[in-house]
Amino acid sequence: QKYKLWMSKQWYQRRVRGSSMTFLCRQAFAKIFQSTPDDLDMHMIYDVSHNIAKIEQHMVDGKLKTLMMHRKGATRAFPPNHPLIPVDYQLTGQPVLIGGTMGTCSYVLTGTEKGMSRTFGTTCHGAGRAYSRAKSRRNLDYMAVLDDLKAKGISIRVASPKLVMEEAPESYKNVTDVVNTCHGAGISDKCIKLRPIAVIKG
């Protein structure tokens, strides 16, 4: 019960932070473009949590059981027609947002029936780190990372210089390899590939 309580508190804190960032982002765009967020059509399209525990029902050894699913380093990916996903996504399956790095692509995937039976409706939520934050700070050059992003046409704003090295593309595994593995295993399907044009790290 204590675990569920602390997990609930963590989830609410995340919701507050996410809502605050969304509000401030909308206000910033409204100020720059001298309009309103609504006129700019800046509404929430989709939001999802990862690294969180949820109470769900799944088939285990042929029986429907109630489980606490803690997806650590992963996210939920339910298939089409699942009752717990919004109506808008019933035909496609649950959207899965796979963030790449500051200098690489990101992906949108969808959940599958095979993923539901093999991984309880779970897939990756990112590439995962290749280097620890400390190793990244030791081995990577601040200006070299910035120059590489600039050469790719990517704008960046960071709260601290150390984040540039910690979050550099070299600090992470190849997100395309990870996504292709999940797609090949059938636990999620590739839908959209995205290219970064701006990065904010705080």
* Residue 113 to residues 64, 72, 117, Cα–Cα distance (Å): 16, 21, 6
Compute the distance between CA of residue 115 and CA of residue 110 in angstroms, rounded to an integer.
Answer: 10
> Looking at the annotation, which residues are catalytic?
125
